[in-house]
Amino acid sequence: MRASDRFGGTAVASGMVVAGLICQEVGAGVAVLLFPSTGPVGTVTLRLVFSAVLLLAIFRPRFRGRTRADWLTVAGFGVVLGAMNVLFYLALDRLPLGPTVTIEYLGPLVLSVLVARRASAWLWAALAFAGVALLGRGGFDHLDPIGVGFAAAAGVLWVGYILMSARTGKRFARLDGLAIAAAIGGLGVLPFGIATAGSAFLDPSVLLFGLGVAVLSSAIPYGLELLALRRLPADAFSILLSLAPALAAGAGFVVLHQTLEVWDLVAIALVVVASIGAVRAANRRREHLPPAGEITP
């Protein structure tokens, strides 16, 4: 293959990843618009249930012949997936989109630092925490401390998501495990979603918005990332995922008209730079580990 062909393939794959991230963050912005009707838990219920239906229809995973260990693994994955999304949406109910994703991203960033096992990686971690400290300058009260707690907890579960995703991927082909896990997560959250949203789930416009959130936040990003990973090295893929906080800030501005101060943007930029540095250090150490966020939640 000619160098120009390889470059063209890499450029296209990179564009797919960025497009998937944009869809995901726009989907999060659209989800916030649903909060007045269904609340954050009701909205995440719609996303998980519709995502599960789409993934099950597309990949048609095999249910028979699975071992007890297979089911325990995918069930754990589903519980983590559901809880992580609930915490993320609860944070979105109290914080702007950009800061929420920035704080949440600390979870996989710390995982990258631990995987790297290099002294330089801790410098990237310090830079990231400096960015978050700048984001909450003068105290996190202006961001809502409860929302910050939800976002941080979602970041911790994102680490669990990455690890469980890797374990599930060894037992299930393609995205079969993710489809089953999404169904388990959706069923687990469904009673709480019904309790909080009530009759809103009977509104066709609400259901249409929920389907839109699922398509933007799950179906399109998963599909684009799956195609991109066939052409893109794992380290490059991870670095592109580090753009998520910046893209989230942009989506918050465009979709929700959320404005950030200059220092907020500087803080987000610090976290993005730190994420790129930490991912590069981690991939030098152990390239066979799953990159942070693959596949993005």
Max intra-chain CA distance, the chain? 58
* Unique residue bearing structure tokens 């400290």: 133
Does residue 295 carry a pLDDT above 60?
Answer: no
Task: Give the mean pLDDT of the chain.
Answer: 83
Asked if residue 169 has pLDDT above 90, the reply is no
Cα-flanking dihedrals φ and ψ of residue 156, to 5°? -65, -45
Would you call the peptide bond into 295 cis, given omega within 30 degrees of 0 as the criterion?
yes
Q: Sorting pLDDT into bands at 50, 70 and 90, what band is 138?
A: low
Q: Is the pLDDT of residue 48 over 90?
A: yes
In this predicted structure, the answer to whether residue 194 has a pLDDT above a threshold of 70 is yes
b or e along 35-54 (b: 16 or more beta carbons within 10 Å of the residue's beta carbon)? eebbbbbbbbbbbbbbbbbb
CA 152 remoteness from chain centre: 13
- pLDDT one-digit tens code per residue, 199-244: 899 999 999 999 999 999 988 888 788 778 777 776 677 777 778 8
14 burial (CB, 10 Å; 0-12 / 13-18 / 19+) is middle
- Give the C-alpha separation, 231 to 11, whole Å: 9
**What pLDDT, on a 0 to 100 scale, did the predictor assign at position 175?**
77
Cα 165 to Cα 146: distance, rounded to the nearest angstrom: 28
Distance CA 210, CA 201 (A): 9
Secondary structure class of 1 (helix, strand, coil) = coil
How many DSSP H helices and E strands does the chain contain?
A: 12, 0
Identity (one letter) of the amino acid at 50?
Answer: F
**CA–CA separation, 71 and 15 (whole Å):** 35
Structure tokens at 274: 């730190």
Per-residue pLDDT of 245-291, as tens digits, reads 888 889 998 998 888 788 888 888 888 888 777 767 666 654 444 44
Residue 25: which of 291, 204, 287, 293 has the closest Cα? 293
Q: Are 61 and 180 in contact (CB under 8 A)?
A: yes
